[in-house]
Amino acid sequence: MLIVKKFGGTSVANPERVMNVARRCIEDYNKGNDVVVVLSAMDQTTDELIDLAHQVNKKPPKRELDMLMTTGEQVSVAMMAMAMDALGVRAVSLNAFQVRMITTSSYGNARLKRIEKERIRHELDDRKIVIVTGFQGVNKYDDITTLGRGGSDTTAVAIAAALHADACEIYTDVDGVYTADPRICPGARKMKEITYDEMLDLASLGAGVLHNRSVEMAKKYGVTLVVRSSLNNSEGTVLKEETNVERMLISGVALDKSADRISIIGLKNEPGVAFRVFDVLAKANINIDVILQSIGRDGTKDISFTCPDGDADDAIKALEANQGRLHFKSLDINRDVAKLSIVGAGMMTNPGVAAKMFEALYNEDININMISTSEIRVTVLIDEKDGTRAVNAVHDAFGLSE
Amino acid sequence: MLIVKKFGGTSVANPERVMNVARRCIEDYNKGNDVVVVLSAMDQTTDELIDLAHQVNKKPPKRELDMLMTTGEQVSVAMMAMAMDALGVRAVSLNAFQVRMITTSSYGNARLKRIEKERIRHELDDRKIVIVTGFQGVNKYDDITTLGRGGSDTTAVAIAAALHADACEIYTDVDGVYTADPRICPGARKMKEITYDEMLDLASLGAGVLHNRSVEMAKKYGVTLVVRSSLNNSEGTVLKEETNVERMLISGVALDKSADRISIIGLKNEPGVAFRVFDVLAKANINIDVILQSIGRDGTKDISFTCPDGDADDAIKALEANQGRLHFKSLDINRDVAKLSIVGAGMMTNPGVAAKMFEALYNEDININMISTSEIRVTVLIDEKDGTRAVNAVHDAFGLSE
């Protein structure tokens, strides 16, 4: 078997943890497997480097920031190779240059274009554990780039795809994907399997275990992803195209408190209004999520939408600056809202799933502000204060508890 | 003009000093010069990284140690590029990979084989200040190497040679090369110019401003080297093949207290004895310096030699282990000796230089234990306690004081 294992910054935060991860990888190696390890920078390193940069330049050029930041993963991989050597196993560390992990030139947020597999293959054939820097690449001019958020996961999946690995294991501080957040839903259960699409919907809704980009890449190349804990040996959750487990109606319930709702009140009821509104917002780089449009009492239109916390002020500013063009009466912002979603490939073939969710909320006397659906997801906007109660009510209603 | 400027770890030890060095380089740039800056790792970084490595492996593999250590210079160059950007000047940092600084594969002590100049040239033509990592290279397999002691100086000289730079300025914590160590010889004077050969003899005698390797390379490729202070703007000392200043009889006086003298007493007076002694020492990796052989009173031979402090115990051990083969009566070690040397290209054409030195020491009642000479150097072994007095006496005798 060829296994790619990815460990994040907390898993290699200090020399002791580096030794622990080394031991864990060696177990798989000693069973005769080929092992590739992808690492992030040791925890805090990244923050320290950014802090250092800001001491000479408040707005450091992105190329130079990438040049600086990528030293973090290089330290991790060299340390890991040394740890494995201390444990008597042959290992070799490789950075993005040495692998030739080619990306676009968007410093700070580059996209992987190609991974050459010769060097990794050569070292594996030599029976070495291969340790690769996550998060980084080089562009065609040999300049160093970084992949942006979730970058190390993406590196791991891309290497697994390039080498046709049997599995790509992502080690995190949770031991798998749960039917709901265990911190607010005591009955939450770890899923054995989940489809890529379900995971994509869960991730974008704030489950936060895996970055969408890596799940999308895994789906595209058919890489079997496993989410596991770096703290214990439990089995984790397997992500694949089709799951074998008997289908529950839905797979999980997600709550996202990071959204704000903005309402634009009293727009003219005429064609092109929605276009003009969202064109303004797109140009201001606002990430729009749920959208609701309704006809007001006096023949005008109201448009409401949700956006991430961080974007709300910019959205208000952009809309106000364009009041002359958009002709609205007033703006309203509600920061105390939450998105509650149910996700499940099973709901495609089962009508009545949404109704069942609404019923559960109605029974708890929880008000629904907005509704949005996709093929495998139903999302409602509720008051933030109702969040925990809502998750548990829906989780129970669909019989997800153990 | 094309100027290569090299700054050591203390010069870039913190963000404030990085800004200072940036300003200094920009001065030259603003005069219309092309500027290449070579940097070491920020002070202490190297020690911290070695300490980190030792926490997972007491004897880390050299390849991985180089992978780890070279992140230090990469941090320096990225920081410097950011600092220059903050000061409104276009700059670009490059590591050994990006320049393509090709070395042998001896990790920890690699030799430069080739520096490609295309990338640096391209960035200079684009009117950028180019900032290059010192001390590091890549071998033909793209593995990262380091150049060993004095590595960053070597990088600077090699780049200056490859680009046919007009000058290579080495910034240190002293402001040039002195006729004697100013800490023990109040009359010591900074030299305006010195030949490569004089500097080589001074360096190997403990003047310690520049590593021999970089001076040898500068001599080989005719690179004009300038030793300057990173703390002030004084002119420094220029190293070249021939100096233009009116020749003093000698250029400088050097004292090296780090030597021990070992005497092998009562060797047989027959051919091959010296060979056997130094063969034993060579195999034990002992660096031998001054050698003296004398015929003893009873028809036996005595051989004395000096070696660095750190090698003396190993030397004694190696000799004792071979007593059966070498047939000596006893060993004697004197750790309280010092080497006093005068250096000067002028002495080649001036007989009586050595005599003048001996006279000065005689006048001070300082005993000479051993004598060794080369074309441009006279070295005597004296008691360590006489060191300071001896330096000043000889410095005065040759009229070196201002």
Nearest of B202, B201, B200 to residue B213 by alpha carbon:
B200
Nearest of B122, B119, B75 to residue A41 by alpha carbon:
B75
Window from A27-31, B253-257, B298-302 with minimum mean pLDDT? B298-302
| pLDDT tier, B275 (very low <50, low <70, confident <90, very high otherwise) | confident
pLDDT at A206: 55
Window from A295-304, B87-96, B370-379 with minimum mean pLDDT? A295-304
Residue A242 and residue A234: Cα distance in Å, rounded?
A: 22
Is a pLDDT exceeding 80 seen at residue B34? yes
| pLDDT tier, A37 (very low <50, low <70, confident <90, very high otherwise) | very high
Sequence length of chain B is 402
Radius of gyration, CA atoms only, chain B: 24
Residues 6+ apart with CB under 8 A from A107: A62, A63, A65, A66, A143, A145, A146
Residue A160 and residue A149: Cα distance in Å, rounded?
A: 19
C-alpha dihedral sign at B57, B60, B64, B68 = positive
- The single-letter DSSP state of residue B253 is E
Percent of chain A with pLDDT over 90: 57
Residues of A in contact with B53 (CB under 8 A): 78-79, 82
- What is the distance of C-alpha A82 from the center of its chain? 31
Location of structure tokens 């496993």:
A226
- The single-letter DSSP state of residue B213 is H
Choose the closest CB to B55 out of A15, A60, A74: A15
The tokens describing B318, both together, are: 């190696």
Location of structure tokens 């046919």:
B164
| Inter-chain touch A86–B18, beta carbons under 8 Å | no
| pLDDT tier, A274 (very low <50, low <70, confident <90, very high otherwise) | confident
pLDDT at B156: 96
- The nearest alpha carbon in chain B to A139 belongs to B98
Instruction: Decide: A374 and A339 in contact? Cβ < 8 Å.
Output: no
Is a pLDDT exceeding 90 seen at residue A48? yes
pLDDT at A112: 92
Question: Bigger pLDDT: B23 or A399?
Answer: B23
C-alpha dihedral sign at B318, B320, B325, B329 = positive
Choose the closest CB to A68 out of B58, B75, B97: B75
| pLDDT tier, B350 (very low <50, low <70, confident <90, very high otherwise) | confident
pLDDT at B113: 93
* Half-sphere exposure (Cβ direction) of B68: Cα atoms closer than 13 Å: 29
- What is the distance of C-alpha B304 from the center of its chain? 26
Three-state DSSP state, B270: coil
C-alpha dihedral sign at B321, B326, B328, B334 = negative
Interface list for chain B against chain A, based on CB atoms closer than 8 Å: 15, 18-19, 22, 49, 52-53, 55-58, 60-61, 63-65, 67-68, 70-71, 74-75, 77-79, 81-83, 85-86, 92-93, 95, 97-98, 119, 142-143
Calculate the alpha carbon distances from A47 to A274, A328, B52 in Å: 41, 43, 18
Angle formed at CA B239 by CA B238 and CA B243, multiple of 5 degrees: 90
Sequence length of chain A is 402
Choose the closest CB to A56 out of B15, B52, B56: B15
3 state SS for B6-33:
EECHHHHCCHHHHHHHHHHHHHHHHCCC
Residue A259 and residue A150: Cα distance in Å, rounded?
A: 20
| Helix or strand run (H / E) with residue B167 | strand B167-172
Nearest of B257, B201, B157 to residue B373 by alpha carbon:
B201
Side chain identity at residue B382, one-letter code: I
Residues of B in contact with A48 (CB under 8 A): none
- What ipTM was reported for this prediction? 0.79
Is a pLDDT exceeding 80 seen at residue B297? no
| Mean pLDDT, residues B222-243 taken together | 88
| Mean pLDDT, residues A246-256 taken together | 79
Residue A257: CB atoms within 10 Å: 13
Residues of A in contact with B68 (CB under 8 A): 74-75, 78-79, 82
Inter-chain CB pairs, A–B, below 8 Å: 109
Location of structure tokens 């900074």:
B190
Q: Specify whether the backbone of B75 is left (phi greater than 0), alpha (psi in -120 to 50) or beta.
A: alpha
Residues of B in contact with A15 (CB under 8 A): 52, 55-56
Residues of A in contact with B67 (CB under 8 A): 74, 77-78, 81, 93, 95
3 state SS for chain A:
CEEEEEECHHHHCCHHHHHHHHHHHHHHHHCCCEEEEEECCCCCHHHHHHHHHHCCCCCCCHHHHHHHHCHHHHHHHHHHHHHHHHCCCCEEEECHHHHCEEECCCCCCCCEEEECCHHHHHHHHCCCEEEEECCEEECCCCCEEECCCCHHHHHHHHHHHHHCCCEEEEEECCCCCECCCCCCCCCCCECCEEEHHHHHHHHHCCCCCCCHHHHHHHHHHCCCEEEEECCCCCCCEEEECCCCCCCCCCCEEEEECCEEEEEEEEECCCCCHHHHHHHHHHHCCCCCCCEEEEECCCCCEEEEEEEEHHHHHHHHHHHHHCHHHHCCCEEEEECCEEEEEEECHHHHHCCCHHHHHHHHHHHCCCCCCEEEEECCEEEEEEEHHHHHHHHHHHHHHCCCCC
Is a pLDDT exceeding 80 seen at residue B203? no
Burial B263-301 (b: 16+ CB within 10 A, else e): bbeebeeeeebeeebeebbeeeebebbbebeeeeeeebb
- The nearest alpha carbon in chain B to A60 belongs to B82
| pLDDT tier, B262 (very low <50, low <70, confident <90, very high otherwise) | very high
Which residue out of B79, B80, B120 would a mutagenesis test of the A interface target, given it has the greatest number of A Cβ atoms within 10 Å?
Answer: B79
Is a pLDDT exceeding 70 seen at residue A296? no
Residues of A in contact with B56 (CB under 8 A): 15, 18-19, 22, 79, 82-83, 86
pLDDT at A39: 97
Question: Bigger pLDDT: B183 or B123?
Answer: B123
A370-387 pLDDT, tens digit per residue, is 888 777 888 889 999 999
Question: β-pairing, A144-146 with A112-115?
Answer: unpaired
B309-324 pLDDT, tens digit per residue, is 888 999 999 999 999 8
Location of structure tokens 């275990």:
A209
Location of structure tokens 């950007």:
B85
Residues of A in contact with B116 (CB under 8 A): none
Question: Bigger pLDDT: A375 or A44?
Answer: A44
Contacts 24+ apart (CB under 8 A), B11-14: B11/B171, B11/B230, B12/B39, B12/B40, B12/B42, B12/B43, B12/B76, B12/B79, B12/B80, B13/B42, B13/B43, B13/B44, B14/B42
| Helix or strand run (H / E) with residue B313 | helix B312-321
pLDDT at B114: 93
pTM summary value: 0.81
- The nearest alpha carbon in chain B to A90 belongs to B61
| pLDDT tier, B279 (very low <50, low <70, confident <90, very high otherwise) | confident
| Inter-chain touch B68–A83, beta carbons under 8 Å | no
Is a pLDDT exceeding 70 seen at residue B205? no
Nearest of A151, A239, A147 to residue A200 by alpha carbon:
A239
A154-210 pLDDT, tens digit per residue, is 999 999 999 999 999 999 888 888 888 888 888 888 888 888 988 888 766 555 678
pLDDT at A376: 83
Instruction: Decide: A159 and A36 in contact? Cβ < 8 Å.
Output: yes
Residue A306 and residue A382: Cα distance in Å, rounded?
A: 12
| Inter-chain touch A93–B67, beta carbons under 8 Å | yes
The tokens describing B73, both together, are: 């210079």
Window from A333-342, B158-167, B371-380 with minimum mean pLDDT? B371-380
Distance from CA of A116 to the nearest CA of B (A): 14
Instruction: Decide: A218 and A196 in contact? Cβ < 8 Å.
Output: yes
Which residue out of B66, B71, B101, B133 would a mutagenesis test of the A interface target, given it has the greatest number of A Cβ atoms within 10 Å?
Answer: B71
| Inter-chain touch A75–B71, beta carbons under 8 Å | yes
Percent of chain A with pLDDT over 70: 96
- The single-letter DSSP state of residue B364 is T
C-alpha distance across the termini of chain A, in Å? 33
A98-148 pLDDT, tens digit per residue, is 999 999 999 999 999 999 999 999 999 999 999 999 999 999 999 999 998
Is a pLDDT exceeding 90 seen at residue A14? yes
Angle formed at CA A188 by CA A182 and CA A192, multiple of 5 degrees: 110
Window from A14-23, A225-234, B214-223 with minimum mean pLDDT? A225-234
Is a pLDDT exceeding 90 seen at residue B123? yes
Residue B356 and residue B359: Cα distance in Å, rounded?
A: 5
Which residue out of B37, B64, B97 would a mutagenesis test of the A interface target, given it has the greatest number of A Cβ atoms within 10 Å?
Answer: B64
The tokens describing B57, both together, are: 């492996």
| Mean pLDDT computed over every residue of chain A | 90
| Mean pLDDT, residues B162-181 taken together | 90
pLDDT at A355: 84
Residues 6+ apart with CB under 8 A from B194: B177, B202, B237, B238, B239, B243, B251, B252
Instruction: Decide: B228 and B235 in contact? Cβ < 8 Å.
Output: yes
Residue B394 and residue B400: Cα distance in Å, rounded?
A: 9
| Mean pLDDT, residues A271-295 taken together | 82
Question: β-pairing, B101-103 with B237-240?
Answer: unpaired
Instruction: Decide: A390 and A256 in contact? Cβ < 8 Å.
Output: no
At A201, phi and psi to the nearest 5? -70, -40
Is a pLDDT exceeding 70 seen at residue B207? no
Residues 6+ apart with CB under 8 A from B7: B21, B37, B38, B39, B40, B171, B230
At A324, phi and psi to the nearest 5? -60, -35
| Mean pLDDT computed over every residue of chain B | 90
pLDDT at A205: 59
Question: Bigger pLDDT: B179 or B81?
Answer: B81
Instruction: Decide: B68 and B107 in contact? Cβ < 8 Å.
Output: no
